[in-house]
Structure 1
Amino acid sequence: MSEPLSESPDEEQAPAAQAPEGAGPKVLLLVDGSSYLYRAFHAMPDLRAVPGDPGSPATGAIRGMINMMQKLRRDVRADYAACVFDAPGKTFRDDLYPGYKANRSAMPDDLRAQIEPIHEVVRLLGWKVLNVPGVEADDVIGTLSCMATERGIHTVISSGDKDLSQLVNDHVKVIDTMNDKVRDVAGVEAEFGVPPRLMVDYQVLVGDSVDNVPGVDKVGPKTAVKLLQEYGSLDALVERAAEVKGAVGENLRKALPWLPTGRELLTIRKSCDLRDHIPGLPELEDIVIGGQDTEKLKAFYERYGFKGLARQLEEHAVPPELIEEHRSKKKVGPGPGPGGLLQEPDLTGLSQVTNLQYDTLLDWEQFEAWLAKIEAADLVAVDTETSSLDEMRAEIIGLSFSTEPGVAAYVPLAHSYADAPPQLPREEVLARLKPWLEDPGRKKLGQHVKYDRHVFANHGIEVRGYAHDTMLQSYVLEVHKPHGLASLAERHLGRSGIDYETIAGKGAHQIPFSQVAIDKAAEYSCEDSDQTLDVHLALWPRLEQDGKLRFIYELEMQSSETLFRIERNGVLIDAATLARQSAELGQRILQLERECHELAGQPFNLGSPKQIGEIFFGKLGLPVVKKTPSGAPSTDEEVLEKLAEDFPLPAKVLEHRSLSKLKGTYTDKLAQMAHPRTGRVHTHYAQAVAVTGRLSSNEPNLQNIPVKTAEGRRVREAFVAPPGHLIASADYSQIELRIMAHLSEDPALLRAFTEGLDVHRATAAEVFGVPPDQVTSEQRRYAKVINFGLIYGMSSFGLARNLAIDNQAAKNYIERYFQRYPGVKNYMDETRLAAKSKGYVETVFGRRLYLPEINSPNGPRRGGAERAAINAPMQGTAADLIKLSMVKVQEVLDAQRRRTKMIMQVHDELVFEVPEDEVEWVRGEIPRLMAGVAELRVPLLAEIGLGENWEKAH
């Protein structure tokens, strides 16, 4: 398709949006800079700042270093990073042994001249540069990796130096990018014959010729391994040296006086004092990976003659990770950015594809031959190239198919540039393909198949037989990582691909896919379908082996098909109602503006935080609640809400903001977003975004309508049923509290739901120690806040603020709650411990929810992850349940040939358009079906309402 973009993160949606992103523990990436710069120097040609002028500064090592650092940042996800170089001058090893490194040749002058520029450009690329006088790079790396391990942070060391293998453990690994080696615990033992814990012993026996450190004479790697396997360690070998026979034993005994010195020389130190160079130690916040300094980098590149790199900076002024990748099938690979946006390489599934056979089908003979091939194949990857990203409007420009890795074909159908070769007629080709596409027995796969379903449906084809979706496979297996095709291919296959902008241009100069030359389009599209099949072959075996994850994947595949139906149905919009609401909101907004000016004593721009700050804190002297990073008083929503408790002007500004957003986002725009053919709004449900499994809605976003306000609820009045129909809204009652009861197995909570009690009244009775029939409305309100607050990990401070009571009273309420519901307290404690151990929690059905900050040394971040650990299983289980319901209800609607249509899914709510003669069936059957999709320890309860519009259905 025309730059098929991936599903993009939705705006924050209730507490679910607070769920974590990222995978497991944080990652520290340490680069052996000294190793890198020698490799760069020897790998690159003799480049000069002025090409062809041997008298100008050498730049080959600089350019090689830039390439290597950029590639590493693309390949390895990291939160902290440093590039470590050897500093000039002596270290303790020189004093200990004057012959240390005595046989090393002097550094070439051309390389020495490039060291300072290399340090400079590495800093500009966003890395912390370390060169500590008197301390070797290996010892800096050893010290930092040890600190990271103590803080639950994983370390990836990038180096070709085998000496660093002694640092490897379950939390530390070494990657040699030049030789595609991963030295983890198993990798070290496979390569050297001994585990990492014995690497120092191994090195002492063998010696290090590079650093001129003698070992035991005539003891090579095989003999060293044999000795260590037999005796267990160097210490044990020394103790029993008299038992070792032959020349080996004789040489060992001769070397005994030297061995302690050899060990001290070869052991990497892990406790160097680095505080002068990283002031924040022992925390690692001073080496958080940073963004590149684009302006200074551009000047650097121009100074050293790297014109191509300078042009790339101009072309990619917006970092790739910030480019919207909405609805993507193939997206730009991940780029550098703070917080570890890049992914660790998965080297286990490297593609074996070496020769590519990509065909372009321009005549019927070629087409028929390939049609026979796909009809005979067990599984075929299909990809569409289209005229638009709007799935309801997109038309097919071309199709590609892949039947085996490295083999694919492209059928151009609507390329219309000057001199384009004749192409097969689109409608005839689609007619020939329709029987195969609509045959459920012919298995197909794709990347984000929901988009392709829409595209084919636009041409009157209802595709059946989609067996797999690589985007959803990745979403289930590795929810914390990017799911675009380019990322998947690079991560799992080691394959890079053609960027869409390479063939179509970018920005204002980007051409539609119909204008892309067919030869380029064919290579691009064939690569898409080929890589999709290849990625599937890498991911599917992992899903097959895990029963719980396979269940979740099958649920996601079924949900994808149901969501396609929901999106296709759309919801009817009453434009007149929206127009009336917009006019009323506009009048109220103008009135609020006048009132704000009167309260301020002067006109000011209510949309300007700067002017608001000047009025609030300069003229009126309101208290400063908090400050922005630049030190100015903040006027964000949290500040306005706090000030609104005591002052009228902030309350008015807050209301003005809320209504302006409502008008601009919904009442002005919804009618314009209706499809001209259907008159309906067709939202897009992004399935592979929220880590909890919840859906996000966009274009328009139906989940962020502010229904807590009267004005927000009125927007739902514009979502209407056509004549002869009603809108039905069905949702689960207190679903997350029921899930908490199931997970915690607390007897009192289970009893409340099993007996059908008012759970908030029951909680109030327990907490306040009164009979249920004597609970006041205020006590019930308090209990409701406590119930839901604890689900979201609310602290006593948060509860006090929410209920407008003092902290001690809130603390007492929470303590009393846990005394009455000890099962809930046990669940929370056990969940935190399990999350810290595994790095993730699970839903009732087995969906994995990763918690990257759960072992963070940063207290607030760790606390947030602990709260998420408690809440995520409930959010995720609720998401699984609504998907199970959605699939089950659609299955029954189809089986009974009902005319009722599912038209929206919003959080835990399903919305239907119901013919009047099916109202009673819907009223009785939909809640029953939803309540029956799973058996928990408490009964599920679904409730339904009906009305002429969405609001009245509530």
Structure 2
Amino acid sequence: MKKLVLVDGNSIAYRAFFALPLLNNDKGVYTNAVYGFTTMILKILEDDAPTHMLVAFDAGKTTFRHDTYKEYKGKREKTPPELAEQLPLMRDLLKAFNIPYFEVENYEADDIIGTLSEKVANKEEYDVKVYTGDKDLLQLVTKNVKVALTRKGISNVDTYDLATVDEKYGITPIQIIDMKGLMGDSSDNIPGVPGVGEKTALKLLKQYGTVEGVFEAIDDISGKLKEKLEANHQQALMSKQLATIMLDAPVALTLEDLTLGEPHQEELTGLFRELEFASLLERIGTDEESIEEEIEDLDIHIADEVTESMLETPAALVVEAIDENYHQAEIVGLSIANSNGLFFIPTEVAVKSDMFKQWAADTSKQKYIFNAKRAVVSLGWQDVILDGVSFDIQIASYLIDPAANSHEMADIAKRKLSLKVQADEVMYGKGKKRHIPEEHVLAQHIARKAAAILDLKDELDKELTENRQQELFENLEMPLSIILGRMEMNGVSIDQAELKDMGESLVQRLEEMEQKIHDLAGIEFNINSPKQLGEVLFEKLHLPVIKKTKTGYSTSADILEKLKDEHEMIPMILHYRQLGKLNSTYIEGLLKVVHKKTGKIHTIFNQALTQTGRLSSTEPNLQNIPIRLEEGRKIRHAFRAEEKNSVIFAADYSQIELRVLAHISQDDNLKQAFIDDMDVHKKTAMDVFGVEEDDVTDQMRRTAKAVNFGIVYGISDYGLSQNLGISRKKAKTFIERYFESYPGVKDYMENVVDEAREKGYVTTMLNRRRYLPELTSRNFNLRSFAERTAMNTPIQGSAADIIKKAMVDMATALETEKMDSKLILQVHDELILEVPENELEKIKELVPRVMQDAVKLDVPLIADAAFGDTWYDAK
């Protein structure tokens, strides 16, 4: 038996898009629809094991049906750009799966499916299954053609055969078109007979068979129903015609063309990785094992003592600390490469050598390093000071090509050199297989890195010069790496007892909330079990079902948000979950990463990660402590000064991205708003809503704020409508009014895209680059992403550069003034310092001034500052 599966591509794509929240990969490409679409394709391949398959797409907005009725599908909203961008990606995935897809100009996907199903309708050797979200296709059901209709969500389907159609409607499949003729279809804007619904239509068809039969027997029908039918006779016949799927569309495909081949595994795996579908990789049987070729040994000297020849500079230095969290790491060896050769130095030899320590701290001795920050910290834990770092291979690579998948040593060498460097994962293994190899192998690996650094330095230096990025590299990123290393080493003091008290208090509150929820539900159940919670909400309490999954009812946060007005228990469950996450992720999570030796938290700042230039932090991520909830803000109360008679001082930039936008766009109205020290969100609210300042409500200001920041991120009318819970039409009006108020911003958005298309990249104020080859892509999805990125990267990236410049200037100012105050954290646009009380008055003036003078804009840069005993108090 041959198995033919026909898929209504547009229908499944729409279902997927609206069933899943907006998702995107690290490049900002939207992926929710393509993820849901891929999930459905995998389900079909696994469950149905088809021998033949086709995905049919609509070819365009107009079809032959519009010749009959111009308003056909006329009430449908324009496809959201976030979905339109994903349709080409679906085709790319189908190519990688080796699944045929097809479209025909002037026809719909339904007509392609109808024509192909007709070809095999009476062929006993074929079993046909159609996947769609459109009930119209039920008209295609025959003895060997089944239709699988998607329910709420994506992968849950109801399969209809002849018996199921009869059981559901009491009519034959072909009568579905008569039912549509009478009742119409609002989704396709098929008018039908006004006032006739499904129930009446089915009653008429069971009695008279067809639309034509109904009108032949019109005298047997009485009352208002007869009047409605007579008044809409031609409209009913037209509606039936519109609902009829073509069975002889010009589809130039044979059944042989639909034979399903083997997927292109490498291409498919690459796409899944690019789209970040990690959870789906296992389902396509990818082999994650790395294949490394043999590499020849280098001529190296293994030192049993440090000598002067090893320390001749300039020199490449490798400090090999292999644990991912290098605050807990053990240095397994060091290597130096210079004009005298390649040297491997065992850790104990280096850290016990006064000659090495003096050389490491000597600022006049030029050292080239890969990841200077990590080397500063790793040696710091061994009481060795590192200074004099003049070149960092990782940072140079990051500035030259911020979009590269990796800036690890092996990957940089692979891109730039013939000298091969083995990946650390291959050398040391992962997880339980983690090990330190024998000394000869270890020495070769570490020395090879030093040799690569020495070879790479001149090439990368040349590229930085060609890109006019030397100043950015030498005056910003290089000094910042050392500052960040010292901040990491210093860490931030935390009151563990207070954190534990917070945890105990939260646990008590969670228990109380759990009891209240159980009382409201009238039953005890595990609130953290989606299955049990779903049964309580949708079976016991009979709340409306919004989405079902393979394992039951969906109880995700976005689903519960839609139900929060349906039952008083729902807001409590949402709050219960938030408090539970606070306790497990942040309170318990922070306690787990307190350093055993110092009793402090030493977060790791990632300097070479984001394409915008922003810093991020890990282990723990201190930038993600939730502060919208008061309980979340209180976690900051546990962060306090290490020294007695010291305070926490925090200063953050006010609306820095909007100020940068005003400067870059040179929009007169936006610039003037900041120069006049106006509330820019209130100003935007006045323009968007057309009201005077005194008439701006809090809700208007919140909406205007969403519009302001949405513009920065290149938001569409669909995205804004989702953020604000308003119609797309209203969101579009807001955006149009914004651009009317700030025409310079609109010009900037258009011009920056044109310029980026010409150059291939955009730059920040300090000349950080982001390359956007996707701007010329034929793929609509990638091209649209690149256009949004071209608009917002100069803004986000310049804001990132400014806060980094402020950190470098701050460190210089503190050193120049010989102050004991020190930088301890950076979070988004905020700098946090620990300040002795006797320096507080000076710091109150110094910090805002340094931050405001970091970069000169055509509008004022404002830094708001506060201080207190804890980070919470410094607000």
Aligned to 2:619: 699
Quickly say closer, same or farther: Cα 1:667–1:777, change in 2 above 3 A: same
Label 1:837 to 1:287 Cα distance change in 2 as closer, same or farther (>3 A).
farther
The Cα of 1:707 is off from its aligned counterpart by 0.6
In the TM superposition, residue 812 of structure 1 has moved relative to its aligned partner by 2.6
**Equivalent position to 1:359, from 282, 295, 301:** 301
Q: How far apart, CA to CA, are the structure 2 residues paired with 1:277 and 1:498?
A: 47
Identity of aligned residues (%): 37
Deviation at 1:641, TM superposition (A): 2.4
1:484-512 deviation line (CA, Å, top 9, x unaligned): 1111111211343334465555543433x
Alpha-carbon contact 2:325-2:619 (below 8 Å) kept: no
Out of 756, 764, 768, the residue aligned to residue 843 of structure 1 is: 764
State the Cα distance separating 1:894 from its structure 2 match: 0.8
Please name the residue that 2:434 is paired with: 510
Q: Show the 5 A alignment for 1:545-584.
A: 545-548=466-469, 550-552=471-473, 554-584=475-505
More deviation in 851-860 or 565-574?
851-860
Cα offset for 1:574? 1.0
> Hey, what's the Cα distance between the residues in 1 that align with 2:609 and 2:689?
41
- Structure 2 residue matching 1:476: 3-state secondary structure: helix
Report the equivalent of 1:490. Answer: 414
Indicate the SS of the match to 1:410.
strand
Counting matched residue pairs gives: 631
Matched, 1:679 2:648: no
Residue 374 (structure 1) aligned with residue 311 (structure 2): yes
**1:20–1:851 CA contact under 8 A, matched in 2:** no
The corresponding residue for 2:344 is 410
Give the secondary structure class of the aligned counterpart of 2:793.
helix
- Greater shift after overlay, 516-525 or 636-645? 636-645
- Whole-angstrom CA distance in 2 between matches of 1:711 and 1:533: 51
SS at match of 2:27: coil
**Alpha-carbon separation, structure 2, partners of 1:16 and 1:752:** 34
| Partner SS, residue 685 of structure 1 | strand
- How far does residue 604 in structure 1 lie from its aligned partner after superposition? 3.5
Equivalent-residue separation in structure 1 for 2:811 and 2:24 (angstroms): 27
CA distance in 2, matches of 1:402, 1:21: 40
Q: Which residue of 1 aligns with 2:128?
A: none
Query: What displacement does 1:820 show?
Result: 1.4
Contact 1:16–1:875 (CA under 8 A) maintained in structure 2: no
Structure 2 SS opposite 1:463? coil
- Please tell me whether residue 717 in structure 1 is matched to residue 624 in structure 2: no
**Distance apart, 1:530 and its partner CA:** 1.2
- Per the alignment, in what secondary structure is the counterpart of residue 368 of structure 2? strand
1:896 and 1:706 map into 2 onto residues whose CA distance is 35
Q: TM-score, normalised by structure 1?
A: 0.60
Offset from partner CA, 1:532-551 (integer Å, 9 cap, x none): 22232332211122214652
- Deviation, 1:556, is 1.5
Between the two structures, name the one with larger relative contact order (CA 8 Å, sep ≥ 6): 1
1:782 equivalent in alignment to 2:703: yes
Which amino acid is the alignment partner of residue 707 of structure 1? I
What amino acid sits opposite 1:480 in the alignment?
A: A
Aligned-partner Cα distance in 1 for 2:477–2:257 = 46
Q: Secondary structure at the match of 1:291?
A: helix
Q: Deviations over 1:197-236 (max 9, x none)?
A: xxxxxxxxxxxxxxxxxxxxxxxxxxxxxxxxxxxxxxxx
- Structure 1 distance, partners of 2:266, 2:548, is 23
C-alpha separation in 2, matches of 1:922 and 1:531: 44
Structure 1 counterpart of 2:818, from 890, 897, 912: 897
Aligned counterparts, 1:269-280, within 5 A: none
1:918 partnered with 2:839: yes
Q: Distance in 1 between matches of 2:551 and 2:747?
A: 43
CA contact (8 A) 2:300 2:447 kept: yes
2:590 match: 670
In the aligned structure 2, how far is the partner of 1:438 from the partner of 1:128? 56
What residue number does 2:442 align with? Answer: 521
- Label 1:757 to 1:293 Cα distance change in 2 as closer, same or farther (>3 A): closer
Indicate whether 1:291 and 2:269 are aligned: yes
**Partners of 1:930 and 1:381 in 2: CA distance:** 35
CA distance in 2, matches of 1:638, 1:952: 33
Given that residues 100 and 258 in structure 2 are in contact (C-alpha distance below 8 angstroms), is that contact kept between their aligned partners in structure 1? no
- For 2:758 and 2:26, the matched residues in 1 are separated by 18
| 2:229 alignment partner in structure 1 | none
Report 1:305-316 matches (<5 A).
none
Residues 574 and 671 of structure 1 are in contact (CA less than 8 Å); yes or no, is this contact kept in structure 2?
Answer: no
Calculate the TM-score normalised by the size of structure 2: 0.65
Query: What does 1:332-351 correspond to in 2, within 5 Å?
Result: none
> Which secondary structure state, in structure 1, belongs to the residue aligned with residue 300 of structure 2?
strand
Alpha-carbon offset, residue 288 of structure 1: 9.2
**Partner in structure 1 of residue 506 of structure 2:** 585
Which residue among 314, 323, 335 is the counterpart of 1:400? Answer: 335
**Correspondences of 1:846-861 after superposition (within 5 Å):** 846-851=767-772, 854=775
- Residue 146 of structure 2: aligned partner: none
Q: Is the 8 A contact 1:844 1:877 kept in 2?
A: yes
Give the aligned CA root-mean-square deviation in angstroms. Answer: 3.9
Q: 1:816–1:664: structure 2 CA closer, same or farther, 3 Å change rule?
A: same
In structure 2, the residue matched to 1:474 is 397
Contact 2:535 2:553 (8 Å CA) reproduced:
no
Deviations 1:396-447 (A, max 9, x none): 4421111159x41112245xxxxxxxxxx45443x12122211111111111
- Cα deviation 1:45-87 (Å, max 9, x = unaligned): xxxxxxxxxxxxxxxxxxxxxxxxxxxxxxxxxx99999xxxx
- Tell me the amino acid that sits aligned with residue 439 of structure 2: I
Name the CA distance, whole Å, in 1 between partners of 2:766 and 2:442. 42
Check whether the contact 2:371–2:395 (CA below 8 A) recurs between aligned residues: yes
Q: 1:82 to 1:593 in 2, by over 3 A?
A: closer
**Cα pair distance change 1:850/1:546, threshold 3 Å:** closer
Q: 1:649 to 1:552 in 2, by over 3 A?
A: farther
Letter in 1 for 2:368: L
Q: Distance in 2 between matches of 1:462 and 1:713?
A: 36
The aligned residue for residue 531 of structure 1 is: 452
> Which residue is equivalent to 1:383?
318
Q: 1:735 aligns with which of 645, 656, 665?
A: 656
Whole-angstrom CA distance in 1 between matches of 2:257 and 2:754: 32
Query: Given the alignment of the two structures, is residue 439 of structure 1 paired with residue 362 of structure 2, yes or no?
Result: yes
Instruction: Return closer, same or farther for 1:507/1:392 CA change in 2, 3 Å cut-off.
Output: closer
The CA deviation string for residues 534-571 of structure 1, in whole angstroms up to 9 with x for no partner, is 23233221112221465256421121111112112211
Runs of 4+ in 1 over 6 A off after TM superposition: 15-19, 79-83, 129-132, 273-280, 285-288, 332-335
Distance between the aligned counterparts of 1:876 and 1:616, measured in 2?
45
Q: CA deviation at 1:747?
A: 0.7
Contact residue 774 and residue 782 of structure 2 kept, 8 A: yes
Q: Is the 8 A contact 2:530 2:553 kept in 1?
A: no
Which residue of 1 is the match for residue 382 of structure 2?
459
Structure 2 CA distance for aligned equivalents of residues 619 and 857 of structure 1: 51
User: What residue is the counterpart of 1:870 in the other structure?
Assistant: 791
- Return the offset for 1:527: 1.1
For residues 286 and 796 of structure 1, do their structure 2 counterparts lie closer, same or farther at Cα, with a shift above 3 Å needed?
farther
Measured after TM superposition, the shift of residue 452 of structure 1 is 1.0
- Partners of 1:380 and 1:403 within 8 A in 2: yes
- Once the two structures are superposed, the pairs formed by residues 242-253 of structure 1 within 5 Å of their partners are none
Aligned-partner SS, 1:527: helix
2: distance between equivalents of 1:470 and 1:590? Answer: 52
Counterpart of 2:717 (choices 766, 783, 796) is 796
Alignment partners' CA distance in 2, 1:275 and 1:818:
52
Cα deviation digits, residues 804-848 of structure 1 (max 9, x gap): 444433333322222111111222222333444555432222212
Whole-angstrom CA distance in 2 between matches of 1:723 and 1:532? 44
**Distance change in 2, residues 1:507/1:753 (3 Å):** closer
Cα deviation, residue 733, structure 1: 0.6
Residue equivalent to 2:65: none
Pick closer, same or farther for the CA change 1:333–1:650 going to 2, 3 Å: farther
